[in-house]
Amino acid sequence: MAGRRTALTALAALPLIGCGFQLRSPPRLPFGSVALTGFPPRSLLAEELKRELAAQVRVLDAPAQADVVLHAIDDVRERSIVASTAAAEVREMQLRVRLIFRAHTPGGRELIPRAELRLWRDMNYSETQTLAKEYEETELFREMQSDVVAQVLRRLAAVKV
């Protein structure tokens, strides 16, 4: 059974071999090391950024030894109530992720001037489904965080060190 499944999978992928299809990969970074500064302690965004950067470059703790310093000016996750009922029950929330950052060399040469990335998602809310909505909120924040990391990587790939 497993051999048949493998053969069918290989057969299905056969037309894609000559068409130039390739999975999207992260952009190539033109430097060898990076240091992250200014992020709050235990920042989930900083952790994901470190993981993605470590796949290509060395992530250092000492900014003076890095080729590029990525400095977070503001790293915020917010949620606000957008709509509620007459009985003061929440009906809709807005989730927001904001990262304000800049990139420079240890010598102070600016590579990326102050930039702001903002993402938001609207979410319906029901107090009868609290656990499911908490899970949905967590997933939406995780998705937005991954989008922010991808945008930062694209901007870092464009710098000239």
Q: Domain residues for 130?
A: 27-157
What is the mean predicted confidence (pLDDT) over 3-19? 63
Contacts of 157 (CB under 8 A, 6+ apart): 27, 28, 29, 30
Residue 135 maps to a domain: yes
Q: What is the mean pLDDT of residues 39-58?
A: 95
Q: Is residue 11 part of a domain?
A: no
Tokens of 72: 């977070």
E strand or H helix that includes residue 91 = strand 90-104
Q: Is 27 exposed, middle or buried (0-12, 13-18, 19+ CB in 10 A)?
A: middle
In a domain, 14, yes or no: no
Residue 15: the pLDDT is: 62
CA separation for the pair 107, 69 (Å, rounded): 10
Q: Is residue 2 part of a domain?
A: no
Q: Tokens for 155?
A: 């901007």
Domain presence at residue 12: no
Give the residue, 20 or 16, on which the prediction is more confident. 20
**Helix locations, the chain, DSSP H:** 2-13, 44-54, 130-157
What pTM did the predictor assign? 0.80
- pLDDT, residue 60, reads 96
User: What is the count of structural domains for the chain?
Assistant: 1
pLDDT in tens, 106-125: 999 999 999 999 999 999 98
Instruction: Identify how many contiguous H helices and E strands the chain contains and give both numbers.
Output: 3, 5
Report the pLDDT value the prediction gives residue 19, as an integer from 0 to 100. Answer: 67
